[in-house]
Chains A and B, each alone.
Chain A
Amino acid sequence: AQSVTQPDIHITVSEGASLELRCNYSYGATPYLFWYVQSPGQGLQLLLKYFSGDTLVQGIKGFEAEFKRSQSSFNLRKPSVHWSDAAEYFCAVGPYSGGGADGLTFGKGTHLIIQP
Chain B
Amino acid sequence: DTAVSQTPKYLVTQMGNDKSIKCEQNLGHDTMYWYKQDSKKFLKIMFSYNNKELIINETVPNRFSPKSPDKAHLNLHINSLELGDSAVYFCASSSGPGGYEQYFGPGTRLTVT
Contact = CB atoms under 8 A, between A and B. Distances in A.
Interface of A: 32, 34, 36, 38, 42-46, 49, 51, 88, 90, 94-96, 99-106, 108-109
How would you classify the secondary structure of chain B's contact residues: helix, strand, loop or mixed?
Answer: strand
Which 7 interchain pairs have the tightest Cβ spacing?
A: A103-B45, A32-B99, A95-B98, A44-B104, A101-B57, A106-B43, A43-B104
Interface residues of B, number: 30
- A32, A96, A99, A103: which has the most chain B beta carbons within 10 Å? A103
Contact of B103 (A38, A46, A95, A100): A46
B102 interface: yes
A32 B94 CA distance: 14
A42 B106 contact: yes
Given A43-B106, A90-B43, A109-B41, A103 B35 contact: yes
30 contacts: A32-B99, A43-B4, A43-B90, A43-B105, A43-B106, A44-B43, A44-B90, A44-B92, A44-B104, A46-B101, A46-B103, A94-B99, A94-B102, A96-B45, A99-B58, A100-B55, A100-B57, A101-B45, A101-B47, A101-B55, A101-B56, A102-B31, A102-B48, A102-B55, A103-B33, A103-B35, A103-B48, A104-B102, A105-B45, A109-B42
